Amino acid sequence: MGKRGFWDKLKKPIVGLAPMDGVTDFAFRHMLAKYGKPSIIFTEFVNVEGLARGAVKMLSAFIYEEKERPIVGQLFGVEVDSFYKSALMLCALGFDGIDINMGCPVNKIAKRGSGAGLIKTPEIAKKIILTVKKAAEDFANGAELKDVGVSDEMIKKIEEMNFGKGEFVRKIIPISVKTRIGYDKIVAEEWVKHLLEVKPANITMHGRT
């Protein structure tokens, strides 16, 4: 596995709040962190193409509180360059990790090559993982959002979301993958071999196609 960060510090057994679209929003996570804190919390997934093109409203999915840590922001999409920009944004927001969704089977997502659709294109999937890992490394080494074409409006919103959280140290955060055992048939063993080639920090796998 790659740089695992907080993953190596989680007490066993690990009980996580899975990323669920339309469910794990800020209000839901706030209540869970307050009354039944899991080992790790994930946000809803957010589309990288939208973020990279300046959809400021999408950033609301990444509002979080310190008591949610360790908290991981989840992204989905298929454009490699958009993954890079979006990953830099999550780094700038101080997330503890970034998770790449390679498991959503919803037609409008998977049919265009995102989510579970990436199981059918392992070379693209591996390139995405490597790109997100590079973004995390670049941010740790001083990369700025403005230098990669992130809009001024997006940068301003990110700064507003960071207000009051204090300074955070630029460090390489772990990149993980959420996926499933196959898209339309079981290919778990072959698929995981592809993922392991690029050494994500963690792989979470659904037990169904």
Q: Which pair of tokens denotes residue 147?
A: 């230098």
pLDDT in tens, 190-204: 999 999 999 999 999
CA distance readout (Å), 80 to 63, 121, 156: 24, 13, 24
CA distance readout (Å), 25 to 31, 37, 208: 10, 15, 25
Instruction: Please state, in angstroms and rounded to a whole number, the distance separating the CA atoms of residues 26 and 30.
Output: 6
> What element of type H or E holds 138?
helix 122-140
**Sign of the C-alpha dihedral computed for residues 110, 111, 113 and 119 taken in this order:** positive
Q: Choose, from 104, 119, 150, 175, the residue flagged as catalytic.
A: 104
In order along its 209 residues, the chain shows pLDDT tens digits of 446 889 999 999 999 998 999 899 999 999 999 999 999 999 999 999 999 999 999 999 999 999 999 999 999 999 999 999 999 999 999 999 999 999 999 999 999 999 999 999 999 999 999 999 999 999 999 999 999 999 999 999 999 999 877 777 899 999 999 999 999 899 999 999 999 999 999 999 988 76
Closest CA to 195 of 4, 29, 2: 2
pLDDT in tens, 58-80: 999 999 999 999 999 999 999 99
**pTM of this prediction exceeds 0.85:** yes
- Is 104 designated active site? yes
Considering the chain, what percentage of its residues have pLDDT values greater than 90? 88
